[in-house]
Structure 1
Amino acid sequence: MRELITKYKPVIKFIVLFLGAYLLLSVAYGGYLKVSSHYGYTPDFITDLVANQSSWLINAAGYKAQVIPHDAKPQMKLIVDGNYLANIIEGCNAMSIIVLFIAFVIAFAQKLKKTVLFILGGSLLIYIVNIVRIAILAIALYKYPEHQSILHSVVFPGIIYGMVFLLWMLWIKMIKKSAT
């Protein structure tokens, strides 16, 4: 048994670090959501911020967009040129994706400064791309409502997850380069 553990030590280390970081960050984010629900944010503060920043970007693209809190649910209604297009919910704020991204980077952590800078830069990039993604999705839904299903469930998740995958590959490449 000891021989197997020694042989697969890097794999075991990755799994323990990844799962540990993921669980810790997920619990912290869940705590944030629970606490924010007690302070009257409808929805939580980050989702509200993402919704408003997306609305600003849609307006900057020449459309008249607004977001308003839903009457009965913790989400924001997205309205473009008077058309109620979508709801921006907690899952749209990219925080769960950022948690996953951070857990992976921690699992392959290098020097503290390098790791922290990559986590901060990557998280900011994911956040910004997510806002752009929501704005483009809203405009696409406005112009092509008949393609809602494929746009919302395939194309736009592919953009955000694809970018996270590319960031992971960049991190691995950076690690490999510094190891040689």
Structure 2
Amino acid sequence: MKKLFSTYKSVVVFLLLFLGSYVLLSLLYGFYLELSKNGRYAPDFITNLVAKQSTAVIEGFGYFAQVIPHPTQPSMKLFVEGRFLARIVEGCNALSIIILFVSFIIAFAQRWKKTVLYIFSGVLLIYAVNILRIAMLAMALYKYPEHQHTLHSVVFPGIIYGMVFLLWLVWVRMLTPKSPPE
């Protein structure tokens, strides 16, 4: 058993760091969501902020956009040019994806300064791209409502998950020692 552990020590450490940080961050996020219930913002502060920032981006592209709290559900109703297009729910704020990203980076952490800077940069990039993604999805739904399922379920999740995957690849590449030229 000792030999097996020493052979796969790096894999075990990666899994423990990844799962440990993922569980801890997910519990903290769950606690945040629980505290947000019946609060000042619907559904929670970050989702509310993402909805308003996405609306500002839509308006930057020349459309009239508006978000209002849903009267009976924990979401924000998004309107473009007066037409109701979508509900922005807690899952749209990208925090779950950010938790996944951060957990992976922590599991591959080496030098803390470099790791913290990469996490900070990656979180900002994911957050910003998510706002652009919501705005682009809203505009696409406005122009092409018949493609709602494909846009919402395939194209736009692919953008955010694809970007996180690329950020992971860049991180692993940054940690891989460069071989000297031959």
Query: TM-score scaled to structure 2, two decimals?
Result: 0.97
Aligned to 1:83: 83
Structure 1 segments unaligned to the other structure (5+ residues): none
- Superposition misfits of 4+ residues, deviation over 4 angstroms: none
- Structure 2 distance, partners of 1:179, 1:47, is 45
- Structure 1 distance, partners of 2:177, 2:156, is 32
- Structure 1 distance, partners of 2:56, 2:15, is 40
- What is the CA distance between 1:110 and its match in structure 2? 1.1
Q: Report the CA distance shift for 1:178/1:117 in structure 2 as closer, same or farther (over 3 A).
A: farther
Aligned to 2:97: 97
- What is the CA distance between 1:177 and its match in structure 2? 3.5
State which drifts further: 122-131 or 40-49.
Answer: 40-49
Aligned to 1:28: 28
Amino acid at match of 1:82: G
Percent identity between matched residues is 62
- Structure 1 distance, partners of 2:153, 2:19, is 27
Aligned to 1:153: 153
- What is the CA distance between 1:37 and its match in structure 2? 1.4
- Structure 1 distance, partners of 2:118, 2:165, is 14
Alignment of 1:68 with 2:75, yes or no, is no
- Structure 1 distance, partners of 2:49, 2:96, is 16
Q: Report the CA distance shift for 1:78/1:179 in structure 2 as closer, same or farther (over 3 A).
A: farther
Query: TM-score scaled to structure 1, two decimals?
Result: 0.98
- What is the CA distance between 1:39 and its match in structure 2? 2.5
Q: Report the CA distance shift for 1:178/1:116 in structure 2 as closer, same or farther (over 3 A).
A: farther
- What is the CA distance between 1:41 and its match in structure 2? 1.9
Deviations 1:85-110 (A, max 9, x none): 00000000000000000000000001
State which drifts further: 134-143 or 33-42.
Answer: 33-42
Amino acid at match of 2:171: W
Alignment of 1:110 with 2:125, yes or no, is no
| Structure having the larger proportion of residues in helix | 1
Aligned to 1:122: 122
Aligned to 1:13: 13
RMSD, aligned CA: 1.2
- What is the CA distance between 1:40 and its match in structure 2? 3.0
- What is the CA distance between 1:69 and its match in structure 2? 0.2
